[in-house]
Amino acid sequence: MEVGIEDCLHIEFEYNKSRYHLREVVLGKIFFLLVRIRIKHMELAIIKRESSGVGANAYTESDTVAKYEIMDGAPVRGEAIPIRLFLSGFDQLTPTFRNVNNKFSVRYFLNLVLVDEEDRRYFKQQEVFFYRKGP
């Protein structure tokens, strides 16, 4: 996943896969390719988005399962930040469900948020899939 603001900020977020068992570990790295703005800190969050209903009766609810500050201070060009997020500690996580009878879905997103010194927030979301292994 690549995030960028033209001529100001370019970062690359790599993680090992897009499908995870509910007891696995999300491993990844964030690379700073171009940094021309003053970043105060960076956060990584797991967002759970539940949808139910059809058409005009559709209802969507988003919930932040976890939020971590993964960097504090201004990075430099070429810097790499390692990511290790253990999923086993979150009881709220359930498997991903997509369009069950076209009426219900549960989806998860990794949300990367950068906050600059003027408290402007830049973010990028990437969908991830969680599953539960059978016995």
Beta-sheet strand order (sheet of 80-86): 2-5, 9-15, 25-35, 80-86
- For 36-89, what is each residue's pLDDT tens digit? 788 889 999 999 999 998 888 889 999 999 999 998 988 888 889 999 999 998
Distance of alpha carbon 81 from alpha carbon 77, whole angstroms = 12
Residue ranges covered by each domain of the chain = 2-131
Written out in words, the top-level CATH class of the domain with range 2-131 is mainly beta
104 burial level (CB within 10 Å; 0-12, 13-18, 19+) = middle
> Please, which pLDDT band fits residue 95 given cuts at 50, 70 and 90?
very high
Top pLDDT among 1 and 96 is at 96
- Residue 55: left (phi > 0), alpha (psi -120 to 50), or beta? left
Report the C-alpha gap between 57 and 100 in whole angstroms.
16
Q: What is the pLDDT of residue 33?
A: 85
Residue 1 has pLDDT above 60, yes or no: no
Whether 5 has a pLDDT exceeding 70, the answer reads no
pLDDT of residue 107: 95
Q: Name residue 127's beta-bridge partners.
A: 109
